Amino acid sequence: MNIVNLRGITKKFGRELALNKVDIAVRNGEIFTVLGKNGAGKTTLIKIICTLLLPDAGNGSVLGYDLMRESEKIRANVSLVAPTVDVGVDPTLTVEENLLFWAVVYGLTDEEARKRVKETLEILGLFEVRNRWAMEISAGMRQKLGIGRAILVRHPLLLLDEPTVKLDVESKFSLRRFIRDIRNEFGTTILLTTHYFDEAEELSDRVMILDKGKVLVVDSIENLKKRISATEKIEIHAKTDSARAKRILSMFSRYGAFYEDAVFRFTVPLFSDAMNEILNEFVLEGVEILEVSSKSPSLEETFLTITGSSR
Amino acid sequence: MRNFIVQLRSIVAFAKREYIIWTSYKINIVTWILDVFINSTLFFMMSLLMGKNTAIFPYGNNYVSFVVLGLSAYYISYTNLGDPYDRVARIYWNGTMDLYLLSPLSLVTPVIGIMYRSVLDDYPRVLLAFLFGTLFFGAVFRFLQPFTILLIVILLGVSTFGIGMISASSFFLLNLKVGTEPVKFIFQDIIIALAAGYFYPISVLPYSLQLVSSILPHTYALDALRRLMIPGGNLNVPVLPLQKVWHISPVLSDVIVLACMSVLFIFLGFYLYAVGVEKARRNGTLTRWQ
Amino acid sequence: MKNVKMILSFMKLKFRASLLYPAGFITDIIREYVNVAIWLFVALFVQNASVSVRSIINNYVGYMLVGVIVFQNADKLMKAPFNALSKAFWEKRLEVYDTSNFGVFALVIGDFIYTFIFNGLIQISILLVVWPLIKAPAIGEWKILSVLLLYGLFIVSIFGISLIGASTFFFLEVKQGREPVSWSVSTLVRLFSGVYYPLALFPIYMRWIGKIFPHYYMIFAMRSITGLSCKVNLVNVGIILLLFAVVLLPFGIFIFKKAITFAEKRSGMSALV
C-alpha cells in the first residue's frame, strides 16, 4: 500500500515553476529519498505532502486522506523535522523538559508523556543528558532531539528535510544509523530529502531524482546505477611517453579519452568491442599495460549523468 | 471534548514554559515593578500640582484614582492588543510555526500560550498600580456593582485581544513580516494612545478626536470603570458622543457597546487570522523554512 | 580625517538602512508627535481643571512642551550608542568593526550624530507646528544663538552619559533591551528635573536630586528663553552646562575605551560561540 500517492503536483511561485506535474508514490515502511540540487523543489514537495503548502494543480492522498479536502487529518498524522538544527528546541528548558512540553502539545496524557519521553530519550541515547540545558548539548544531539520530538507520537509518516545538513561528519553518521533504526523498530515510513549522495546511497530503499521541479527518475539505487552502465568507465594504468599518449588520446577522443598521472580513462563498458579496440591499439603502440580496471558510477555520477542528459 | 482538553493542557504547558523564561530575566522584573511605581509617582505629582479635590467631571475628584484606572486599562491593552502579532512573528521566525501546525493545536492556541509571558509582565502591573496608588499616592476606590466591574474588565480584555488578532492576521494576510505592523501601530500607538483617555478625560480632546475615540473599547471601559470605582463618580450624566444620543444609563450603554465590540473584534480577528493562514498556505509564505 | 570619514560612513549606513524600510522612518516620526501630543493633552487638562496651576505656571501647556521635547530628544540620544552596539552585535558586524582601531567608536559616534540630526529635526518640527497653537511668546523673540550654544553644550554632556551607558554593553553583558545607566538617568530626570512639573512641589531636601543632571539646567534655560518662566542668567547656566560637558565627555570616552579593551580580552565583541 502507498502511504503517499500524489499525481500531477504542480506549484508555481510567481513566474517560477517549482514543481512541474510531479507524481510521487511512497510505499508503506520504506525509506524514500528525494534527491536534488538546491532549488530542485524538494522542500516544496515536502511542504505539499504535509499540507503546509497547497499545490496549484494535482491531487492525491497521504495516509489515505485526500490531500486537498482532508488536510487537517494529514497534518495530525505526519511528523516533520525541518533542516535547521534547534527548531522546536527551547534553550531555556532541559532536554527532558523539551520533550515533555511537546508530548503535551501532541496530546499525550501526563502518564503517556512521561513514559514516551523516557523511551524516546533511551532510543535517542540522550537519557544521560536529560537534565542538561538543551543548548549545552552538541548540535548533533540537538538534531536527534528534534527527531525525538517528531517520533514522540509514532506517526506513520516521518518527513525529514535535509536532516544532516550543518552537522559534523560523526554526527551525520550517527544520525543516519538512527534514522534506519527508527524505520526498523517502528515500521515508520520515512520520506527524506537530501543533496548528499552518500546519504541517499546509505539510507534509501528508493530514490527520486528531482531537477528543476521535474521528476527525472524513481528507482532503487542499484537499478539507477544499472541504467547508466553505458557510462561505465575503464581505467588503464600504463607506462608510456607523452607522444604516444597524445596519439592514443586523439585516436579515441570519441570515447571520452582522458589521461593523467599515467592513467588512461575511457568511457566504455567493460568487455565491450570498444574496450577491445582500445587494448589492441595499446599493444600495437607498444604501450606497457600495468593494470585494467572498471569504475562503477557513483550515485553522484549517476545523478550528474541523469540531470545532464535532461538539459 | 478531548480536543478542547488538549488545547487547555497545551496552554498550561506553554504557560509553564513562558514562566520559566520570564523568571530568568530577573532584572526585568525589578525594572517593571519600578516602572509602575514611577508612572504612578509622576501622576501623583501632577495631582499635587492640580490640588486636592479638583473635579474631573463626571469621574469624581481624585486624579490619582483616575490615572490608576487608566494605567490598568493600558497594561491590559498593551498585552492583549500588542502581543498577538509579536507572538505570531516569534513563532514564525524561530521556525516552530510548522511544528505547531502539524500538531493537534488550533491556530490560536500557540499564540495565546506564548502571550502568557506578556500576561505575566503586564497583568500584575494592574494590581501593582492599585497597590502603589492606594498605599502611597492617595488613590481611593469604591466597588459599586462589582460584577459589572468584573464584566467590563473581561470585555475590555476580550475586545482588545480581538483587535490584537486582527493585527496578527496581517502577518500572513498582508505578508507583513518585517517592520511596523499597521493595525497595531495605528490603533495602539496613535489612536488609543491619544484618544483612549488613559491620563485625561476625552472631553479635553477636539471633538473630531472624541468621535474617533468612539470606536475604541477603552473609551467605554474607562468611562464605566471610573464612574463605578472612583468616589463621587456620576452614574447618570452622559459625556461620550454615543451616550448623548442613546438615552439609557451611561454605564449600561458602555457595557452594551463593549459586549458588541468584543463579539465583533474576536470574530473578525479569528476569521482574518484563519484566512491569512490559508492564504499563506497557497502562497508558500506560511513557514520560514525554504 | 580618516576617522571623520569613518563616522560619516556609519551615518550614511544608518540613513540607507532607514530608507530600506521607509515605513519605519515614518512611524518613528509619528510616534514622536503622538508622545508629545499625549503630554500636551495632559497639560491642557491639568491647566483647565485647576485654578492653582494657572497661578503657579502661566502657560502649563507650553511649560510641558518644552520639558517633554528636551527630555525626549535627550532620552533618544542617550540610548543611541547602546542600541547601535546591540544591533551590530546581533547582526554579527561588531567584531568586524573592531578590526579597525577606531571602528567601534566611529559606529557609536556616527549613530549618535545621525540620531541627533534625525530626532532633532523631528523635535524642531513639532515645536514649529505646536508653538503657534499654545499662545506663547513668538519664536522670533527667542535668543536663537543662546539656544544653540546651550543646546550644544547639553548634547556634549548627553553624549558623555550615553558612552557610559554604552559601556555596560561590555562590562555588564547587557546585550539588548534597557541598559541600566540611561534607564536610571531617564527615570530620575523624569521624576526630579522639572520635565513635567516644577521642583517646588518637592520638599526642599529633595530638590537637589534633579539638579545633578544637565537636563534640569537645559529645560530651565529653554523655558526662560521662550518666555515661559522667569528670566535666568544664561551665562551662569552656560557655565554649569560647560562644566557638565567638560566632566562627562572625557569620563564617558575613558569608560567606553576601557569597556572595549575589556570586551576584546574576553571575546565580548562576537555573538558567535
Mean pLDDT of A180-187: 87
Measured between beta carbons, which residues in chain A are less than 8 angstroms from residue B12? 104
List CB contacts of B129: < 8 A, sequence separation 6 or more.
B36, B39, B40, B68, B71, B72, B75
Question: Average model confidence (pLDDT) for chain A?
Answer: 85
Q: Nearest-CA neighbor of B72 among B22, B142, B122?
A: B122
The reported pLDDT for the residue numbered C143 is 77
Confirm or reject contact between A135 and chain B (CB < 8 A). no
Mean pLDDT of B35-39: 91
Q: Which of B20, B98, B284 lies closest to A82 in CB terms?
A: B98
In this prediction, residue C271 has a pLDDT band, given cuts at 50, 70 and 90, of low
In this prediction, residue C139 has a pLDDT band, given cuts at 50, 70 and 90, of low
Measured between beta carbons, which residues in chain A are less than 8 angstroms from residue B96? 87-88
The reported pLDDT for the residue numbered A229 is 56
- Shortest distance, CA B188 to any CA of chain A (angstroms): 31
Contact B96 A88 (CB under 8 A): yes
Query: Which residue in B has a C-alpha nearest to residue C177's C-alpha?
Result: B28
Contact C52 B185 (CB under 8 A): no
Query: Which residue in C has a C-alpha nearest to residue B28's C-alpha?
Result: C178
The reported pLDDT for the residue numbered A263 is 85
The reported pLDDT for the residue numbered A311 is 39
Query: Which residue in B has a C-alpha nearest to residue A49's C-alpha?
Result: B102
Query: Which residue in B has a C-alpha nearest to residue A147's C-alpha?
Result: B99
The DSSP bridge pattern shows strands A157-161 and A57-62 to be: unpaired
User: What 8-state DSSP symbol labels residue C273?
Assistant: -
Confirm or reject contact between A52 and chain B (CB < 8 A). yes
- Shortest distance, CA A39 to any CA of chain B (angstroms): 9
Instruction: Please say if the pLDDT value at position B81 is more than 90.
Output: yes
Instruction: Please say if the pLDDT value at position A272 is more than 90.
Output: no
Neighbours of chain A (3+ CB pairs under 8 A): B
Confirm or reject contact between B146 and chain A (CB < 8 A). no
- Shortest distance, CA A63 to any CA of chain B (angstroms): 14
Most confident of A85-94, B27-36, C179-188: C179-188
Percent of chain B whose pLDDT exceeds 90? 58
Confirm or reject contact between C188 and chain B (CB < 8 A). no
Tens digit of each residue's pLDDT (9 = 90 or more) over C47-61: 988 887 877 788 899
Mean pLDDT of A136-143: 82
Measured between beta carbons, which residues in chain C are less than 8 angstroms from residue B42? 190-191, 196
Mean pLDDT of A55-78: 92
Most confident of A157-166, B265-274, C144-153: B265-274
Percent of chain A whose pLDDT exceeds 90? 33
Tens digit of each residue's pLDDT (9 = 90 or more) over C154-172: 999 999 999 999 999 998 8
User: Which of B35, B49, B183 is best to mutate for the C interface (most C CBs within 10 A)?
Assistant: B49
Instruction: Please say if the pLDDT value at position B34 is more than 70.
Output: yes
In this prediction, residue C81 has a pLDDT band, given cuts at 50, 70 and 90, of very high
The reported pLDDT for the residue numbered A310 is 44
The reported pLDDT for the residue numbered C141 is 66
The reported pLDDT for the residue numbered B290 is 64
Contact A92 B17 (CB under 8 A): yes
Contact B289 A44 (CB under 8 A): no
Query: Which residue in B has a C-alpha nearest to residue A79's C-alpha?
Result: B102
The reported pLDDT for the residue numbered A223 is 80
CA distance linking residue A99 with residue A101, whole number of Å:
5
Mean pLDDT of A17-23: 93
- A5-9, B107-111, C29-33: least confidently modelled range: B107-111
Q: pTM for this one?
A: 0.83
CA distance linking residue B66 with residue B59, whole number of Å:
7
List CB contacts of B16: < 8 A, sequence separation 6 or more.
none
Mean pLDDT of A102-115: 91
The reported pLDDT for the residue numbered A86 is 73
Instruction: Please say if the pLDDT value at position C273 is more than 90.
Output: no
Interface of B with A in 92-111 (CB under 8 A): 94-96, 98-105
CA distance linking residue A111 with residue A231, whole number of Å:
58
The reported pLDDT for the residue numbered A257 is 82
Instruction: Please say if the pLDDT value at position B265 is more than 90.
Output: yes
CA distance linking residue A46 with residue A78, whole number of Å:
11
Domains of chain A: 2-226 (3.40.50.300), 233-295 (3.30.70)
In this prediction, residue A33 has a pLDDT band, given cuts at 50, 70 and 90, of very high
Confirm or reject contact between B20 and chain A (CB < 8 A). yes
Confirm or reject contact between B284 and chain A (CB < 8 A). yes
**DSSP code per residue over A239-306:** E--HHHHHHHHHHTGGGT-EEETTEEEE---TTSHHHHHHHHHHHHHT-EEEEEEEEPPPHHHHHHHH
Mean pLDDT of B40-60: 87
Q: Which of B42, B55, B189 lies closest to C190 in CB terms?
A: B42
- A97-111, A128-142, A226-240, B27-41: least confidently modelled range: A226-240
Q: Which of B179, B180, B200 lies closest to C45 in CB terms?
A: B200
Measured between beta carbons, which residues in chain B are less than 8 angstroms from residue A50? 98, 102
Contact B287 A54 (CB under 8 A): no
Question: Average model confidence (pLDDT) for chain B?
Answer: 90
Query: Which residue in A has a C-alpha nearest to residue B10's C-alpha?
Result: A105
The reported pLDDT for the residue numbered A232 is 65
- B119-123, B135-139, B170-174, C198-202: least confidently modelled range: B119-123
CA distance linking residue C225 with residue C211, whole number of Å:
19
Reported as type and span, the H/E element at residue C202 is: none
CA distance linking residue C225 with residue C238, whole number of Å:
13
Confirm or reject contact between B275 and chain A (CB < 8 A). no
Q: Nearest-CA neighbor of A48 among A35, A38, A62?
A: A62
Beta strands in A177-222 (DSSP E): 189-194, 206-211, 214-219
List CB contacts of C215: < 8 A, sequence separation 6 or more.
C70, C71, C74, C154, C189, C193, C195
User: Which of B54, B204, B207 is best to mutate for the C interface (most C CBs within 10 A)?
Assistant: B204
Neighbours of chain C (3+ CB pairs under 8 A): B
Inter-chain contacts counted by CB atoms under 8 A, chains A and B: 77
List CB contacts of A21: < 8 A, sequence separation 6 or more.
A8, A9, A10, A57, A58, A214
